[in-house]
Structure 1
Amino acid sequence: MPQQDRAYATREAILLAAAEEFDRLGYDRTSLTAVLARAGLTKGAFYFHFPSKEAVAAALIERQGELWAEVRETWRARGADPLTALHGMFVESADRMAADVVLRAGVRLNADREIGYPGVPSTHVMWEKLIGTYLADAADRGHLLPGVDPEAVARTLCGAALGARLISSATTSCADFPDRIREVLGHVLPCVATAGWKLPGSQSASEGPIRP
């Protein structure tokens, strides 16, 4: 294996091992010794790639941020209507978190270590605002029922998603997070959308989602 490939593989092994420990115990209770043991690496190999446990955590947080940007761009490029895009981003995010411990650890680290809002990480406040823009766009296109407040729906979805993640993480290591998110979306979106919009997967063969 070329040296560059070996270096990449070692770095990925460190990230995976650290993610598994962070996901299991959180940042404070995870020791560098446990990460090294899980990865089967020496301290020298570790310090070649990362100067500290903090640096590994930062890399995991950065990776989850990059992935969310990719998810948003993917759905933007599909040209779906705002509600369909919103539904798709929620579902894809939940599916990925259930399957990818590296992503899951990055999300936990990012949430656990922010201090901008007492009890609520600022990332969730950012997502609340972003989701609100999708819902406002849906309202402008006539896809929300009259009187529906896009910001209130955004708060409802974000609060439900945060609670679902915390409960799922504590009980099933996020294995049932996708089901929980689909339940949230299945109850909330049909109650605020006009009759012309159908929950993805629920329309008949002759129907399709509203297009821009």
Structure 2
Amino acid sequence: MSPSDLNSRREPRRKQERAVRTRERILAAAARAFAAKGYPAVTILDVAEAAGMTKSAVYFHYENKDALALAVTDLFSRRIGEIADSVEQLNLPPVGSVAELLLRTATAFRDDTVIQAGARLQLERQLIGVRLPLPYEAYTDLISSWLARKRETGARDDLPPPDMLATVLVSAFFGAQHIAWVLNDRADLVERTIALVRTIIPSAEGDIKLCPSAPRRC
């Protein structure tokens, strides 16, 4: 095979890789804009300037602002799923897994612009012209399954049913992240999260000590 033939075969793959990198750049810029300004205030020009490209280049990959919001929300959901997968690999006790998941999610809310943008877009979903995936359903189901596993061990506890407790934990956590965002840009969200777990599940202290992300008490 001649060098020219080899290059011609490689070119479609190179174009595809460039397109993927461009979409990633656009989504990163859109996430920063949505997180900082909210959906109504963001324009395609804002995203293009933040990404260092033209409006036409953005429109080539995303037909409008709604498509960008949906893509950022999908990326947000994938990131949350990746956090859950990373916790499952630790093989912590069930309540420890719940605490570690919430703590890692808190850290992501504090530090990850995509997570911040996804949460804000969910709050503004009524203003967006496409249907966004419902938030936190799989997240709640996973926590419920871990709590059910704890109950299956036969250990006595005074906890509510797993599905009810999972709903309370998720509601409390996402309410806490919103309050922390308004008050201090989520700077204390990890501390709020550990206090939340300790308050709702007082028996969790032993499992919390096994969590890599748990703040250590003096």
Band of TM-score, shorter chain: 0.7 to 0.9
Secondary structure of residue in 1 paired with 2:53: coil
Secondary structure of residue in 2 paired with 1:123: coil
C-alpha distance in 2, partners of 1:124/1:6?
Answer: 32
What CA deviation, in whole Å up to 9, does each residue of 1:70-92 have, x standing for no partner? 22222223222211111111111
Deviates more, 1:93-102 or 1:163-172: 163-172
Q: Which runs of no fewer than 5 residues in structure 1 stay unpaired? A: 116-120, 203-212
Identify which of 179, 185, 196 aligns with 2:197.
185
Identify which of 110, 113, 116 aligns with 2:122.
110
C-alpha distance in 1, partners of 2:138/2:105?
Answer: 16
Task: Give the length in aligned residue pairs.
Answer: 193
- Please state how far the C-alpha of 1:192 moved relative to its aligned partner: 4.2
- Please state how far the C-alpha of 1:6 moved relative to its aligned partner: 4.6
For the Cα contact (< 8 Å) 2:96–2:210, is it kept in 1? no
Amino acid at match of 2:209: P
Corresponding position of 2:168: 156
Identity in percent:
28
Corresponding position of 2:108: 96
C-alpha distance in 2, partners of 1:129/1:11?
Answer: 31
C-alpha distance in 1, partners of 2:20/2:159?
Answer: 53
Identify which of 27, 30, 38 aligns with 1:15.
27
Q: TM-score, normalised by structure 2?
A: 0.75
Deviates more, 1:86-95 or 1:44-53: 44-53
| RMSD value, Cα | 2.8
**Higher alpha-carbon Rg:** 2
What CA deviation, in whole Å up to 9, does each residue of 1:49-85 have, x standing for no partner? 2111111111111112112222222222322221111
- Please state how far the C-alpha of 1:93 moved relative to its aligned partner: 1.1
Alignment of 1:114-125 (within 5 A): 122-125=134-137
2:90 matches 1:78: yes
- Please state how far the C-alpha of 1:47 moved relative to its aligned partner: 1.7
Identify, as 1 or 2, the structure richer in helix: 2
2:199 matches 1:199: no
2:185 matches 1:176: no
- Please state how far the C-alpha of 1:24 moved relative to its aligned partner: 1.7
- Please state how far the C-alpha of 1:3 moved relative to its aligned partner: 5.5
Q: Which runs of no fewer than 5 residues in structure 2 stay unpaired? A: 1-13, 128-132, 212-218
What CA deviation, in whole Å up to 9, does each residue of 1:17-68 have, x standing for no partner? 2111111222122122222222232112212221111111111111121122
